[in-house]
Amino acid sequence: MNTVVERRSTGHLLKDVGKGVAVSLIAAYSFIVLLGLPELLTSPSIPTLWQVLLTFPLIASFFSVWWVLPLGAFLGFALPKWAAHWNRREALKKGAEVGLAVGVAGGFLIGVAFLTLEPGPLWTRFRKEPELFWGPLVLFGVAIGVYSAVWVGVFARRYAGRAQ
């Protein structure tokens, strides 16, 4: 009897982790598409819809997948357990706080990754032109933090009040 319960729990665990990974990939993809839409509307070279919906997101996803997949798996594992003990409003608020924290951290790391793509040592560029360093970090941190807060808050709200 215990084996059946353990298998069912493992099945739910794998299902929750899979949902977390899927939601994080969808959120990352849609964030990149949303970043590409203003480029589509304002660029003089006018990228095609195909580039905005497929090419740009796939290239950008390459740089963020190292953060998005493990984070989605962790949140898919942990968030349903946490949120099960909260009411919907509390789950939305605490989920948004978690999303903001991990989004700012991820935005900072992704900003550093983009800065290191340029030729020359990172810290040499930082000493010479610090405004070029902090601008992208703040942009990525704030944008990804707010965006992640919304997604994680809604995801947590979905699991609110399901304590067994």
pLDDT confidence of residue 7: 44
The pLDDT > 90 percentage for the chain reads 28
pLDDT over 60 (residue 163): no
**What pLDDT was estimated at residue 99?**
94
Among the listed ranges 34-43, 73-82, 122-131, 133-142, which one has the minimum average pLDDT value? 122-131
**Cβ–Cβ under 8 Å, residues 155 and 75:** yes
- The better pLDDT of the pair 63, 75 is held by 75
In the chain, domain spans: 2-158
What is the structure's pLDDT at 2?
Answer: 43
pLDDT band of 118, cuts 50, 70, 90: low
pTM, entire model: 0.75
pLDDT at 89 over 80: yes
**Residue 101: is its pLDDT beyond 90?**
yes
Q: Mean pLDDT over residues 93-97, rounded?
A: 95
